[in-house]
Chains A and B, each alone.
Chain A
Amino acid sequence: MFRWRYIIPRVIIFGLIICIVAFASGPLTKWLLITGGQSVTGAKVEIGNLETSWLEGKIRMGEIEIADPRHPMNNLVQQDEAVLNLDVDRLLHKEFIVEQARISNIQFGTPRTDSGLLSKSNKPSHVDLDWIINPLKKQAKTLGQNWLEQFERRSLKVIEDKLETVRVARQLNEQWTARYRYHHEQANKIKKQIDELKSMIKKPSKNPLRDFERLQVAMRQINNFHNQLRTTRREIHQLDDLLKRDRQRLIDAKERDQQKIKSSAEFFKVDANTTSELLLGRQRSDYVNEVISWVKWFRGVLPNPKRDFYPQRSRGENIQFVGLKPRPKFLIQSAKITGRGNIGGQRHDFFGSATNLSTQPEFVEAPTVFNLETSGARRIQVVAQLDRRTDKKIDDIRIKIPGIRIPAKHLGSPDSMLLDVSEGRLVADIGVRVEDNNLVGRIVFRQDHLKMSVRQLNPKAGGFNLASSINQQLSQLNEFVVQIDFSGKPNNLNVKLQSDLGTKISDAFGRMVNQAAAETIAVQTRRLEEQVNEEIARLTNRHKTEINKLLKIVNADSNVVAGLEKIIPNLNKWPKIR
């Protein structure tokens, strides 16, 4: 009836296959996961051990390493253990939907001993991770110089202001010397002409008829001398008016100088931003670098499968049927994770959760969200929303440091100003949005419960004496807030720093420097007043002397001319020659 010869062995074979499938489902699943993972990423996938329980839809994997297709000598991810609770219903639809996962000791970017590339034709891209951050540190070196230049510019300005009065005084001195010389020359010239006339008149003549003509010429010259001497005397008297005007000019210059000195002192203020840059420039660089490290880390953690993976080509083409909503083939809806990572050069142990992790994020409705907290002394809360649903990578990362103790440190530079800051508490809130390679972010941190004092101050900025005065004011200061805004590409970041620390320190400096400057200016103003008064007195005295000398010469000449006029006979009484 039955052909047992055929049926029994086939039943046995079939049974054996069922048994093999049942008992070897682990290795089979392992093989499927490895080949599936490799075909998606284009990089090696290694799984140490694997246990399956299909009825419960549970897979437990141990010692998992997935190579990074962008960096073949690094692992994209490495984990000690992963327990996945699969949605069995979706599994029947060939969809690996992990409803809940527990991933222990996950590590990112760990080094490999062998290359993780499956095919040599895959050329690793380094688009995202070649971010350069060093320029920020370079800027810090020039901050001290910039800060000191403020003081240097101020000193130079005061010296220039002094020069205006001095310059006017020097000009007046030169002008008056020239004037006096001119009038002396004029007087001497007239005197010489008078002496010549005098000798001509007194010279005896052989022919009396000739004397008439000679004396007529002499009379005309005498009249001319009278006119010249009158003019000279008038000019000499006019010099008094000129002197008055020049004295006023000197007084005006002095008043202008004093005004300028006062106004320059009023406007002098240490620039708060430059001070903030000097004191917090290094911290700014460190914080921005750390934020970029976090961004880099998350970028490394979650590559863009479309761009960064090298899926192996399968035979044919998978058709997406019209009307069928595309769904991801692999999705971890929610995972509890613990792990560690090197971020910003520091090792962080962390724990938290991840949602919506998929190899086909474009088919997932919501972006991937990591909610992590670092363990240990430095507790950092991180919420990262990484959107890979479109070709544009969009990351929103929020990092909160709720309050950690920070050790004592120095701010600023020993070349300009070095500030001692005692240990205190740090609270920080960092937000950064990255669209492809464009960053926009803000870091706000507050340091409180601290004490500050100026340890070193460059002599150009006031030196030890000013530092002591400022320290008295800083004793009231026990907290400060810093806000760093940055935008642009990572290798060309536009970073703006604002802090009330710079304002507070600058105000303290401003008060102390202006107080010292006011005293200096008062001394300078007084000295200028004295100098101008001395200059005016000297000018006046010299004028009097010179005027007296000139008038003396002119008067003497007038007397001589008058004497000559008397000795000339009256020409009208002479007989007329026909």
Chain B
Amino acid sequence: MITGIWKIFRMFRGSFAGGDTPRQIGFGVAMGMLIGIVPKDSLFTYVFGVLLLMSTANLLSALVSGFVFTWMGFLLDPLSHALGKVVLTNANWQATWCALYEMPIVPWTKFNNTVVTGSLLIGLALFIPVYWGATKTFKTYGPRINSKLGQYSTYRWLAGREHFNQPAEPAMNKTLTQTEVV
């Protein structure tokens, strides 16, 4: 019984660390960026959160990315507002926006807000570049970063590698192997 519970706990803890291939980490960073950049009073944020949970993305990287991009989102407000306004006030799109707004649930996304739509568009536009950049980065610098972070017991505990003597190298090697398999 206790062993079973411990296994479930290990699985839960592992899920927080998530998949640790560079792609999963990159996906986590991109999703975190999308969640962070969009204002939190929009339903978009929660939809993306659920999608994130349903994916095999690395939650830790998503959490860190979300935190960082939340603050960046405030800095991007003028740009988001300008972009959102251009899109939302476009005469050709008014009928579409009206139809969307009349649909149930949709108004909860606050898409009629210039910053929400603007930041969503910016987030979506940046999604692929961020995913690609993060994946590349973690492919290149991942082992080194893992090795550095592995010196901290919190990271090791979060990553479920407290029993490893050399946490960084084997984990990354294993990850690379798994990625190749997938």
A156 in the interface (beta carbon within 8 A): no
In Å, the complex CA distance between A13 and B57 comes to: 14
Contact A321 B94 (CB under 8 A): yes
**Residues of chain B lying within 8 A (CB to CB) of residue A5:** 11, 14-15
Given that A93-B102, A322-B94 are contacting pairs, would A9 and B11 also be in contact in the complex, using a CB cutoff of 8 Å? yes
**Residues of chain A lying within 8 A (CB to CB) of residue B18:** 6
In Å, the complex CA distance between A92 and B115 comes to: 22
Contact A315 B113 (CB under 8 A): yes
Q: Which of B48-84 contact A (CB under 8 A)?
A: 50, 53-54, 56, 77, 80-81, 84
B141 in the interface (beta carbon within 8 A): no
Q: Which of A86-104 contact B (CB under 8 A)?
A: 89, 92-95
**Residues of chain A lying within 8 A (CB to CB) of residue B98:** 321-324
Contact B11 A316 (CB under 8 A): no
In Å, the complex CA distance between A94 and B106 comes to: 9
**Residues of chain A lying within 8 A (CB to CB) of residue B94:** 321-323
| CB<8 Å pairs between A and B, sample of 15 | A5-B11, A8-B11, A9-B8, A13-B15, A14-B50, A89-B104, A93-B102, A93-B104, A95-B107, A314-B113, A315-B39, A316-B84, A317-B81, A317-B115, A322-B98
B35 in the interface (beta carbon within 8 A): no
Q: Which of B111-135 contact A (CB under 8 A)?
A: 112-116, 118
A318 in the interface (beta carbon within 8 A): yes
Q: Is the interface of B mostly helix, strand, loop or mixed?
A: helix
Q: Chain B, 1-30, contact with A by CB distance < 8 Å: what is the 0/1 string?
A: 000000010011011101100000000000
Q: Which of A9-25 contact B (CB under 8 A)?
A: 9-10, 12-14, 17
A-B pairs, top 5 by smallest CB distance, nearest first, are A316-B115, A9-B15, A92-B104, A94-B107, A316-B114
A203 in the interface (beta carbon within 8 A): no
**Residues of chain A lying within 8 A (CB to CB) of residue B11:** 5, 8-9
* Closest partner residue, chain A, to B97 (CB atom): A321
A1 in the interface (beta carbon within 8 A): no
Total interface residues on B, CB under 8 Å, equals 39
Contact B14 A93 (CB under 8 A): no
Contact A6 B15 (CB under 8 A): yes
In Å, the complex CA distance between A94 and B102 comes to: 10
Given that A94-B108, A315-B113, A316-B114 are contacting pairs, would A321 and B14 also be in contact in the complex, using a CB cutoff of 8 Å? no
**Residues of chain B lying within 8 A (CB to CB) of residue A324:** 97-98, 101-102
Partner pick for B53 among A14, A316, A322, CB 8 A cutoff: A14
* Closest partner residue, chain B, to A317 (CB atom): B114
**Residues of chain A lying within 8 A (CB to CB) of residue B80:** 316
**Residues of chain B lying within 8 A (CB to CB) of residue A316:** 39, 77, 80-81, 84, 113-116, 118
A295 CB to nearest B CB, Å:
38
